[in-house]
Structure 1
């Protein structure tokens, strides 16, 4: 399985960023790490290995960028307004330096997004904010309400990066064309969060697959089973 490491200075983030890319060709899948994870986490925890067949067959190419949650949602040393602003810049980085570049290179209009745990939030939030650029969204044990990180602070940036708030009124037609998967375990700490998002999508008649795995907890063994299954539907 071809693996490439990239490191560059991001003009959007004003800092160095790293990314691993797996595969030689195929449909692009941007795979986000968990809470404080970096570009190597999904490889080191076996998630990329679980998709080896799809990568080696040239069906998908997997892009694993750094997360910057330590600068945004989890940075208790700055005001909540700055936490969400830092996330907005990360959203711009994903769009400008990854999605646009990948689509230009491959002659595509859209990419797939995926992630486990907090990476599931990242995948869903980007996909629901930019449905014109996302064809598939695979959230594995994600959560979709970030108000708990805001210490009571709330503004437009929070609203438009909090899927449970902005999705009820979202009306972009590409939302109804996106292939959406909400994967979660029966004993998952994010079970209620996925049921809540499933209810929002159901109320809007947006097609999606709610995949609740029996006897499964919020952990890598569950996500390593889910990811190749979801890719098999791509």
Structure 2
């Protein structure tokens, strides 16, 4: 399985953003790390190896992007207003720079996004904010209420990055093209978050798959089973 390390310069972030890219060709999946994770986390924790066969066969190309969580949602040293504003710059980097680059490189109109835990939030929030860019969403053990990171601060910038707030007011038809997987388990600390989001999507008539697995914990062994299963089914 080919691995390529790249640095993508972002004008919105004014820095290089590091990534690991797996595969020569295939449908692109932008993979977000978990809480405060780096671009090499998915490799270190076995998630990339779990889909090795799908990558080597040319079905998928995986882009493991770095996060800026330490400067945004987890930046407790910053005023909550600036945490959100920093995330908005990250979203602009993704939407205006990285995703168009991936689409052009892979010759596709839309990409797939995926992530585990806090990466599941990133994937879902990006997909729901920018459905014109995304055809596939795979969230594994995600949580979707970002207000727990804003210390009571709330305005439009929080609202429009909080899926459980803005999705009830969205038009369901905007997501009709998207294949959505919400993966969780009975022992998952984020189980209720996934059930809540699933109910919101059901109320909007947005088709999706809520997959609640057996008695497994919120951790990499669960996600390393989920990821190849979901990727083998969505295309």
Q: What's the CA shift string for 1:112-155, capped at 9, x where partnerless?
A: 00000000000000000001110000000000000011110001
The DSSP-based 3-state class of the residue aligned with 1:70 is: helix
State the aligned residue count. Answer: 234
8 A Cα contact 1:51 1:227, kept in partner? yes
* Structure-2 residue corresponding to 1:223: 223
The DSSP-based 3-state class of the residue aligned with 2:171 is: coil
Q: What's the CA shift string for 1:36-90, capped at 9, x where partnerless?
A: 1000000100001100011000000000010100000000111101000111111
2: CA distance, partners of 1:180 / 1:102: 20
* Structure-1 residue corresponding to 2:22: 22
Query: Where do residues 15-94 of structure 1 align in structure 2 (5 Å cutoff)?
Result: 15-94=15-94
2: CA distance, partners of 1:7 / 1:208: 34
Which structure 2 residue ranges, 5 or more long, are not aligned?
none
1:125 aligns with 2:113: no
Which structure 1 residue ranges, 5 or more long, are not aligned?
none
Q: Normalised by the size of structure 1, how large is the TM-score?
A: 0.98
8 A Cα contact 1:21 1:63, kept in partner? yes
Q: What's the CA shift string for 1:9-43, capped at 9, x where partnerless?
A: 32111122100000000000000000010000001
Q: 1:198 to 1:51 in 2, by over 3 A?
A: same
8 A Cα contact 1:131 1:172, kept in partner? no
Give, in angstroms, the shift of residue 98 of structure 1. 1.5
The DSSP-based 3-state class of the residue aligned with 1:193 is: helix
* Structure-1 residue corresponding to 2:196: 196
